[in-house]
A and B are shown apart, each in its own frame.
Chain A
Amino acid sequence: MLVLTRKVGESFIIGDDIEVVVLKIEGSEVKIYKKIVEENLRASSVSVDSLKGVKVIDQDRRGTDQTP
Chain B
Amino acid sequence: MLCETKVGEVEVSESKILLFERGIPGFEHLRKFTIVELEQTRPFCWLVSLEDPNVALPVVNPWLVRVDYSFELSEADREELKLESSDEIDVWVVVTIPADVPGEATVNLFAPIVVNKSRNLAKQVLLEGSEYKLRHRISEELQRSNEILKKMQKE
The chain A residues found within 8 Å of chain B, CB to CB, are 32-33, 35-44, 46-48, 50-57, 59, 61-62, 66
The chain B residues found within 8 Å of chain A, CB to CB, are 6-7, 24-27, 38, 40-41, 43-44, 55-58, 60-61, 63-65, 67, 94-98, 100-103, 105, 108, 110-111, 124, 126, 128, 134-135, 138-139, 142, 145-146, 149
| 14 residue pairs A–B, Cβ–Cβ below 8 Å | A36-B25, A36-B26, A39-B96, A39-B134, A40-B57, A44-B55, A47-B100, A51-B44, A51-B58, A56-B60, A57-B142, A62-B67, A66-B43, A66-B61
The A/B interface has a contact count, at CB < 8 Å, of 103
Q: Given known contacts A50-B100, A51-B41, A57-B142, is B25 in contact with A33 (CB within 8 Å)?
A: yes
Determine the chain B residues whose CB is within 8 A of the CB of A43 once the complex forms: 57-58, 94-96, 108
Asked if B126 and A32 make an inter-chain contact with CB atoms under 8 angstroms apart, the answer reads yes
